Amino acid sequence: MFQSILLMGGLGIAIGTVLVIASKAFYVYEDPKVVAVNDELPGANCGGCGYPGCNANAEAIVNGLSAVNSCVAAGDDVAMAIAGIMGVSVADKESEFAGPGCYYGKDDADMEYKYLGVTDCRAAALLFGGMKVCRIGCLGLGTCVEACMFGALSIGSDGLPKVDQEKCTGCGACERVCPKNIIRLTSVTRRIMREYTWEECITPCQRACPTGIDIKEYIRLIKEGDYHGSLQVIKERNPFPTIMSRICPAPCEFQCRRLLEDESVAINNLKRFVCDYEMNQDKRILPYKAPATGKRIAVIGGGVEGLSTAFFAARLGHDPSVFEATGSLGGILRKAIARERLSMDVLDWDVEGVRQMGVTFQTNTKAGKDFTIDGLLKQGFQAVFTATGGWDSRLARGDIDQAETVFPGAYLLIDLLRSKSDHHINIAAGENVVIAGGGISTLEAVKILKENGSKKIIVISRGQKDEDCFAPEALDELSNAGVGFVYHSGITKVMGEEGQLKAIELSDLDTGMKQVINTDTLIIGSGRFPELVFIPVKKEDPDGKEDLIENNGPLAWEGVELPKKPDSNKELGLLSSQDAISEYSSAVAAINGGRKAAAAIHNLMYGIQFQDSSKFITEKTMLQDVSFLNNVATFPRNIMELGQDKMNSIDKFSTGFSKEQARAEANRCLRCGLVCYEKSRAIG
């Protein structure tokens, strides 16, 4: 009996010891915040938030990956309770919904082979690659419909998924199961931020448009007489459509697929028709905006790029202000284009549209004179963007008598060289100077800097050492002057404190490795200041959270370059071939620069990772296309007549096309996809 008791007791002690050890070894820590948030959620596990269950959504909320009001099954009281746990406020949640990106179903598309009994899109893509000639086309088996938990998706008569936006919760279940990336979540913010990739069905004309307007869609809406909807599509990517309809070089028309059969669609003239229709109605049509964020943004420069940046920032929900050195907005458009092509009333109409989006203007205020970047950040602006234009703009506004400086410690090489012969131009160069670019003018620049007291000078070159443009004797002279060289590198960031430049960040163009060089002066070898986004530097407090530096302490800031498309020649850093070094090649290219800037500002303020650039469409991207058309009837292009005298016209603005002409021209559009297009029902 006693032995049995000892045996049982020993066994109990052993089991207890094992359990204690196991509890320590296999203990799973539960974040009390996750537990608290999960307790507030209704426990429906419906997946409407985009996560597999309420506990997963609770973890996402705590980790900042999901909003406090992301639960579609709960009300405002739950969102407020979760916000209290997280110590944040409840902001308006921007609506997201699924949208298909394919326009021809399997019955209308060219067939390659059938599915042999496979009924799931993922299996078809895995086994066969799909049945359409187009490698990214919709497979049409409806896997996305089965994945939707709210009945928001169905397969239409054309074999493509249709979305009921009233039922769609934006959970993303359909997006995750589509093997061809055809159906994606979309929203105002996503459409502004997104760069096109080779995974998407982008038409040749849309790829050629620098702003990326959905040309096929706005022409379709003109054909249907929906001018309001057409303008909404145009203004998704272009805040100056009325201006562009008069001065755009229309690269889209050179890529129009109708050129394989007859003449391109009059894309730009159709844009002019619908934009002038809006002006003649004297009722402005504004695109949708995201909910207000309360974040203030400063844009330096009231030209096309600056106004475009402010326009798109306002559409992202921010509160932008434009600071313009002159007394009028529009930049070089107001100075350099003949009035016969672009009248001031048209320019003012589009500029007023930017203001009505919620942008404020401050004219006759010049950077470095009336305000500074660090001063704007101290005033409560969360970001500052520089879009001051190039040498052409300075000539147009007569601002070349003095050296221009946009951010602390930075000057243009052209101003430094001119300071040698013009005593009115003063460059306050410090002891440690970095020259970015410069070419054969570098030697003269070094001499001027040495005469002004600079001690340490470093030249940054994007080329390899064996590609240097200097003669051997010039290199010897520079070396004897104590000049250092850094080859095959680009400047990706500038850093400073208060009103002083402190350092620059360099990236090697081959390896991407970064290094920081201390400097107090940067000389830029181009005809314009680079487009940089300036933000205050955040530091970690003892609790591990990031907070801005206190107002009573020194303000640290950094200026970050805009993201670039990848290319074989290592596009990274300032003064690359993708950067404008004087003025943009066209106003429409400047508009795209402004949209990219607004997207970069948004990402940097929120700490969002930039979109993966490896899939961006570049000039060297190999895309599917067609070299001839089948079953397409020829129709002559509608020619826009010369505008009539306004005094004798019933319209205030010349629409060019009549409604009948516009509809006839819109009918010529083939509604192209990647390799598909609308074939004629009756061959003429």
Binned at pLDDT 50, 70 and 90, residue 40 comes out as confident
Q: Band of the pLDDT at 548, cuts 50, 70, 90?
A: very low
Closest CA to 68 of 44, 32, 40: 40
CA distance 554 to 474: 42
Question: What is residue 618's predicted lDDT score, i.e. its pLDDT?
Answer: 82
Give me the pLDDT at residue 161, please: 92
pLDDT of residue 247: 93
CA distances (Å), 228 to each of 235, 281, 285, 458, in order?
11, 11, 7, 56
Residue ranges of alpha helices (H) inside 240-385 are 241-247, 251-254, 267-281, 304-315, 333-336, 344-356, 373-378
CA 524 – CA 108 distance, rounded (Å): 55
618 token code pair: 């570049």
> Residue 365: CB partners within 8 Å, gap ≥ 6?
323, 324, 325, 371
Query: Radius of gyration over alpha carbons of the chain, in Å?
Result: 30
Instruction: Kindly state the average pLDDT of the residues 487-497.
Output: 92
If one counts every other C-beta atom within 10 angstroms of the C-beta of residue 260, the result is 13
pLDDT category of residue 108 using cuts at 50, 70 and 90: confident
> Residue 84: which residues within 8 A CB-CB, separation 6 or more?
none
227-274 residue pLDDT tens: 999 999 999 999 999 999 999 999 999 999 999 999 999 999 999 999
Average the pLDDT over 294-313 and give the result: 96
Handedness of CA 82, 86, 90, 92 (dihedral sign): negative
Lowest mean pLDDT across 84-93, 286-295, 302-311: 84-93
Query: Could you tell me the pLDDT band of residue 619, with boundaries at 50, 70 and 90?
Result: confident
- The rounded percent of the chain whose pLDDT value lies above 70 is 86
CATH domain 34-91 topology: 3-methyladenine DNA Glycosylase II; Chain A, domain 3 (1.10.15)
Cβ(610)–Cβ(603) below 8 Å: yes
CB 489 within 8 A of CB 403: no
* 46 vs 375: CA distance, rounded Å: 49
d(CA 341, CA 338): 6
More confident residue, 128 or 645: 128
Question: Which has the closest alpha carbon to 514: 484, 551, 486?
Answer: 486
Across 160-174, 535-549, 622-636, least confident range: 535-549
Looking at CATH, the fold of the domain delimited by 204-285+645-666 is given as Fumarate Reductase Iron-sulfur Protein; Chain B, domain 2 (1.10.1060)
**550-593 pLDDT, tens digit each:** 456 789 999 999 988 877 557 788 888 888 888 888 899 999 99
Distance separating alpha carbons of residues 535 and 559, to the nearest angstrom = 7
What does the mean pLDDT of the chain come to?
A: 85
Largest CA distance in the chain: 121
Does the pLDDT value for residue 466 go beyond 70? yes
Residue 349 confidence (pLDDT) above 50: yes
Give the separation between CA 666 and CA 643, rounded to whole angstroms: 20
- Can you tell me the mean pLDDT for 126-145? 84
Q: Please tell me the pTM assigned to this model.
A: 0.86
Among the ranges given (244-258, 382-396, 511-525, 550-564), the one the predictor scored with the smallest mean pLDDT: 550-564
CA–CA separation, 585 and 486 (whole Å): 30
- The length of the chain is 684
Name which of 297-306, 578-587, 645-654 the model is least confident about: 645-654
- The domains of the chain are located at 1-30, 34-91, 97-186, 204-285+645-666
What is the rounded distance in angstroms from the CA atom of residue 163 to the CA atom of residue 156? 10
- In the 3-class helix/strand/coil scheme, how is 447-462 assigned residue by residue? HHHHHCCCCEEEEECC
What band does 52 get if pLDDT is binned at 50, 70 and 90? Answer: confident
Whether 214 shows a pLDDT value over 90: the answer reads yes
Which range is least confidently modeled, 261-275, 303-317, 669-683? 669-683
The one-character DSSP state at 132 is B
Nearest-angstrom CA–CA distance, 453 and 432? 10
Of 324, 329, 321, the C-alpha closest to 370 is: 324
- Mean per-residue pLDDT for 323-343? 90
Does the 97-186 domain belong in CATH 3.40.630.10? no
Torsion angle, alpha carbons of 596, 601, 603, 605, to 10: 180
Residue 684 banded pLDDT, cuts 50, 70, 90: very low
| Separation between Cα atoms, residue 457 and residue 436, nearest integer Å | 11
Mean pLDDT of 590-617: 91
pLDDT band at 683 (very low <50, low <70, confident <90, very high): very low
Residue 170 confidence (pLDDT) above 80? yes
SS3 sequence of 587-602? HHHHHHHHHHHHHHHH
Lowest mean pLDDT among 123-137, 338-352, 510-524, 612-626: 123-137
Q: Which of 272-276, 322-326, 459-463 has the lowest mean pLDDT?
A: 459-463
- Axis crossing angle, helix 587-606 with helix 304-315, rounded to the nearest 10: 40
Strand partners, 560: 493, 533
Q: In this predicted model, what pLDDT tens digit does every residue of 414-424 receive, in sequence order?
A: 999 998 888 88
Q: Which of 680, 434, 405 is nearest to 575 (CA)?
A: 434
